[in-house]
């Protein structure tokens, strides 16, 4: 009979892309960094008509706002999942149903 191996399932370990000493970057963090850098680069090219100090401020702002999405967790969930939950909640229709109270009928 061949030897059977047990495959671990439901592992909570994140995949590491880059590790340098005590610093390690997961796939999710690397994706957020990549998204922030691409956004900053596109905005830098878009604001070419502005002076460099204004370009730098307007370009760095979205990058600084995007970076916390890769590192912070709230109640065990990432910030992007909370953002999706808030968007879903915002687009749900508000339905209020009026029903006569049982004590008022008597």
Domain boundaries, the chain: 16-105
Q: What is the pLDDT of residues 74-96, one digit of tens each?
A: 888 888 889 899 999 999 888 88
Name residue, tokens 């059977």.
4
Query: What is the Cα–Cα distance from 24 to 76, expressed in whole angstroms?
Result: 19
The pTM of this model reads 0.66
What's the 3-state SS for 91-104? Answer: HCCCCCCCCCCHHH
pLDDT tens for 37-61 read: 999 999 999 999 999 999 999 899 9
Query: What is the C-alpha to C-alpha distance for residues 61 and 66, in angstroms, rounded to an integer?
Result: 9
């Amino acid at each position: 009979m061949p030897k059977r191996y047990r495959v671990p399932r439901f592992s909570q370990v994140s995949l590491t892309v880059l590790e340098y000493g005590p610093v390690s970057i997961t796939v999710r963090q690397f994706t957020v960094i990549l998204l922030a850098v691409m956004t900053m680069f596109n905005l830098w090219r878009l604001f070419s008509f502005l002076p460099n100090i204004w370009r730098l401020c307007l370009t760095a702002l979205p990058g600084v706002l995007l970076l916390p999405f890769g590192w912070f967790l709230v109640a065990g969930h990432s910030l992007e999942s909370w953002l999706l939950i808030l968007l879903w909640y915002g687009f749900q229709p508000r339905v209020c149903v009026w029903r006569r109270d049982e004590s008022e009928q008597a």
